[in-house]
């Protein structure tokens, strides 16, 4: 008995459909690419499930996608004989965004059509793109293995609800029928559809079939017209693009494959296509995207390249084939050696996978290095020169994770890092650039970490470096503190945080400055002793410094201690952090510090010095009210 019921779309889908139906996509014809891609995925899923249950093929072992149209009914239909859907799967997959993080998706919608189009692509909800050209979509499907009477019909006009009913469907798989709008009838053309398929879907490894056109004579052999015949013909190359020779694949075809596997509407910055032979044989086709997905920092989200074994699709996001710090890379790996029933667990243990992972990592780093070389290549176009800066702006922070995760490639990664500095507002300074312009007698690469560029640039800890004209790298990515623990030197030169340990500029300080500092420290001993006593609960030590010029005091930690910024970040992340007691360094030449000696408000001044140094460093006093009270008392 046929049962029909009307259900409401998930709120997020309704919002999505509103965007789509208001011409979200600037290029309307891509709806066909999205629907053919979904059909191809359904066939891949059947092929994978049938590895363990061959009966799922039923009586149709040859997988294919068919595209047909009816001019009189103004309908366009895309049919596959893939895995199909049960009624509940149709409700779940077509009525909700069938991905985790739905709320996160909606929270990122901006109202900016171009930006929101990127988000829709990243969420892989291309089915809804059918509503760009259709005012009604009907889907008929039956899941492989279910009886014919358990087919389902799903219908919607793209508004607030949809209908589902049980139907009898002898064929396994899915048919998506678009009831075209008045302004979309040009898609009811064999020539038009063939050209779109050739442009966007030629690389699909399954045959895409359309009815052959044939000439029909008019009455009494007068005139005639082309009509659709009964024969079906393959209209794509029907071979996986990555299996072809590089010379047989155009740039446009590489880009279209990228758009299909990444759901990205923007072309990639670069790609690399290679057949690797030796102990482990595989094909790699890897892409560097032009922009980061909004969930790049969600480490719980599965990410990785598509894995095929002997042209059979195995899994979408094979994380084991690339290290986590390269999780932004898209692409396809097709192995000749892995077993067809390989699981995620087996991938972690396989020697072949380890070889593939190492080979792919080297290939990706090579692509990034090539972009970096273009930056300084006088013969390169302006567009090519800008590619590395664009890549680094999107993925530089995640690339730094590799310093701690990939010891074998640490030196290669270090050469790719870029930073802002006291001589550059943009993250364009490499460690090699810095080293090339180090002052004579300078023995370290100096850097400072802070939460913002302004906080780093205005830190009192930079004062003596600015006075001496010594460049300091300004690091503001949250990962910097952690990553720099794994990079102690570059090309033989140590990296030194200006906020750790006593500043020692060695040969860069003249004898007069050294002598003056020693005399000041000796003369100031009684005051230092009182400061240590007043601040014994807050500061590990108090000492005279030569790093300050204009400021009265600053906070530093010991060479081996955890930085205060890192401690704050860990606390914000809800982690337990050992107590960090910084060292207070004071400028003996500053009027406020000189005022300490003989002051009736010594303890209050001492605490104000400490709390102001803490504020300048980006922290907050433990007791803000007490700080304000002390300042007010002194002002009065």
Question: Which CATH number does the domain housing residue 534 bear?
Answer: 3.40.50.11260
List the helix and strand counts (H, then E) for the chain: 23, 23
User: Are 12 and 93 part of one and the same domain?
Assistant: yes
311: in domain: yes
Residues composing the chain: 636
Which CATH number do you get for residue 365? 3.30.230.80
DSSP string of 316-364, one letter each residue: EEEGGGS-GGGTT-EEEEEESSS-TT--HHHHHH-HHHHHHHHHHHHHH
391 lies in some domain: no
Residue 633's CB: how many other CB atoms inside 10 A? 11
pLDDT tens-digit readout, 128-142 = 788 889 999 999 999
Same domain, residue pair 233 and 247: no
> pTM of whole model > 0.75?
no
Determine, yes or no, domain membership for 410.
no
pLDDT of 318:
82
Query: What is the model's pLDDT at position 26?
Result: 58
**Sorting pLDDT into bands at 50, 70 and 90, what band is 98?**
very low
Lateral strand order in the sheet of 4-8: 4-8, 161-167, 151-156, 134-142, 173-180, 75-80, 65-70, 208-217, 224-234
pLDDT tens figures, 417-457: 999 999 988 888 999 999 999 988 888 999 999 888 988 89
Domain assignment present for 119: yes
Quick check: 16 pLDDT over 70?
Answer: no
Average pLDDT, stretch 535-539? Answer: 88
Tokens, residue 603: 């303890």
Same domain, 218 and 292: no
Out of 201, 219, 239, pick the residue that ends a domain.
239
Same domain for 350 and 432, yes or no, is no
Judged by DSSP in three states, 233 sits in strand
Residue 481, token pair as written in the block: 């503190």
Residue after which a domain boundary falls, among 239, 272, 292: 239
**Which of 314, 343, 375 is a domain's end point?**
375
Domain limits for position 471:
417-635
Per-residue confidence band for 57, with pLDDT thresholds at 50, 70 and 90: very high
Chain segment 313-335, per-residue pLDDT in tens: 778 788 889 999 999 999 999 99
Quick count: other Cβ atoms within 10 Å of Cβ 332? 22
Q: Do 222 and 284 share a domain, yes or no?
A: no
Domain containing residue 97: CATH number: 3.30.565.10
**Same-domain status, 499 and 609:** yes
Please check whether residue 408 lies inside any domain of the structure.
no
Number of domains in the chain: 3
pLDDT greater than 70 at residue 595: yes
The DSSP secondary structure of 7-39, one letter per residue, reads EEPPHHHHHHHHHHHTT--SSTTHHHHHHHHHH
Residue 31 and residue 148 share a domain: yes
Q: What percent of the chain has pLDDT over 70?
A: 87
Residue 61 lies in a domain: yes
Q: Is residue 512 part of a domain?
A: yes
- Is residue 508's pLDDT more than 80? no
Per-residue pLDDT tens over the stretch 164-175: 999 999 999 999
Same domain, 512 and 603: yes
| Sole residue written with tokens 């692409």 | 331
% of the chain with per-residue pLDDT over 90 = 38
For residue 125, is pLDDT > 60?
Answer: no
Q: Is position 564 within any domain?
A: yes
Checking DSSP bridges between strand 151-156 and strand 65-70, what pairing results, if any? unpaired
Please indicate, yes or no, whether residues 460 and 574 belong to a single structural domain of this protein. yes
Mean predicted lDDT score pLDDT of the chain: 85
Whether residue 91 is found in the same domain as residue 8: yes
Do 141 and 261 belong to one domain?
no
Helices 511-523 & 525-534, crossing angle to 10 degrees? 60
Rounded Cα gap, residues 318 and 255, in angstroms: 21
Hey, which residues does 543 pair with through a beta bridge? Answer: 585
Helix, strand or coil for residue 563? coil
Check the CA dihedral 103-104-107-108 and report its sign: negative
What is the Cα–Cα distance from 410 to 400, expressed in whole angstroms?
10
Residue 198: strand, helix, or coil: helix
Are 447 and 368 found together in one domain? no
Query: Does residue 485 have a pLDDT over 90?
Result: no
């Amino acid at each position: 008995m046929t049962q029909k019921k009307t259900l409401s779309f998930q709120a997020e889908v309704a919002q999505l459909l509103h965007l789509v139906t208001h011409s979200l996509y600037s290029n309307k014809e891509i709806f066909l690419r999205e629907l053919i891609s979904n059909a191809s995925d359904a066939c891949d899923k059947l092929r994978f499930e049938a590895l363990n249950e061959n009966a799922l093929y039923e009586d149709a072992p040859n997988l294919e996608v068919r595209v047909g149209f009816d001019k009189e009914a103004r309908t366009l239909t895309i049919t596959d004989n893939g895995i199909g859907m049960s009624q509940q799967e149709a409700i779940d997959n077509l009525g909700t965004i069938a991905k985790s993080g739905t709320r996160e998706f909606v929270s990122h919608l901006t109202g900016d059509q171009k930006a929101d189009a990127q988000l829709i692509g990243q969420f892989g909800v291309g089915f809804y793109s059918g509503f760009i050209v259709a005012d009604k979509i009907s889907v008929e499907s039956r899941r492989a293995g279910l009886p014919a009477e358990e087919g389902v019909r799903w219908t919607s006009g793209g508004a607030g609800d949809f209908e589902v009913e049980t139907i009898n469907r002898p064929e396994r798989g899915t048919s998506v029928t678009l009831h075209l709008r008045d302004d979309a009838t040009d898609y009811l053309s064999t020539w038009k559809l063939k050209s779109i398929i050739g442009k966007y879907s030629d690389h699909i490894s399954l045959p895409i079939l359309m009815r052959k056109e044939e000439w029909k004579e008019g009455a009494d052999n007068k005139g005639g017209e082309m009509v659709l015949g009964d024969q079906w013909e393959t209209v794509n190359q029907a071979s996986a693009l990555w299996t072809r020779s590089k010379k047989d694949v155009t740039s446009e075809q590489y880009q279209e494959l990228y758009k299909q596997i990444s759901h990205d509407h923007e072309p990639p910055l670069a790609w690399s296509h290679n057949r690797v032979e030796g102990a482990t044989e595989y094909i790699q086709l890897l892409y560097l995207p032009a922009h980061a997905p909004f969930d790049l920092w969600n480490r719980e989200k599965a990410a990785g390249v598509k894995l095929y074994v002997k042209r059979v699709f195995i899994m979408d996001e094979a994380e084991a084939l690339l290290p986590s710090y390269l999780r932004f890379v898209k692409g396809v790996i097709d192995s000749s050696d892995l077993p067809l029933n390989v699981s995620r667990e087996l991938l972690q243990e396989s020697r072949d996978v380890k070889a593939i992972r190492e080979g792919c990592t080297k290939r990706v780093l090579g692509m990034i290095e090539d972009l970096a070389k273009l930056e300084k290549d006088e013969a390169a176009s302006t567009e090519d020169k800008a590619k590395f800066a664009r890549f680094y702006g999107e993925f530089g922070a995640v690339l730094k994770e590799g310093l701690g995760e990939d010891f074998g490639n640490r030196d290669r990664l270090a050469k790719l890092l870029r930073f802002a500095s006291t001589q550059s507002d943009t993250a364009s300074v490499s460690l090699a650039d810095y080293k090339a312009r180090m002052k004579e007698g300078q023995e370290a690469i100096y850097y400072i970490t802070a939460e913002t560029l302004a906080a780093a640039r205005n830190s009192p800890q930079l004062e003596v470096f600015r006075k001496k004209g010594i460049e300091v790298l300004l690091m503001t990515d949250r990962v910097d503190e952690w990553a720099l623990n794994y990079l102690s030197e570059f090309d033989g030169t140590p990296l030194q945080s200006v906020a750790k340990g006593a500043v020692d500029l060695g040969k860069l300080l003249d004898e007069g400055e050294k002598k003056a500092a020693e005399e000041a420290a000796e003369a100031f001993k009684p005051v230092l002793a009182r400061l240590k006593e007043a601040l014994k609960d807050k500061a590990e030590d108090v000492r005279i410094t030569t790093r300050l010029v204009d400021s009265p005091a600053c906070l530093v930690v010991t060479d081996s201690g955890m930085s205060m910024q890192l401690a704050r970040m860990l606390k914000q992340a809800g982690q337990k952090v050992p107590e960090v007691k910084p060292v207070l360094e004071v400028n003996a030449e500053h009027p406020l510090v000189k005022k300490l000696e003989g002051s009736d408000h010594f303890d209050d001044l001492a605490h104000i010095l400490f709390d102001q140094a803490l504020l300048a460093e980006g922290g907050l006093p433990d007791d803000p009210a007490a700080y304000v009270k002390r300042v007010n008392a002194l002002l009065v």
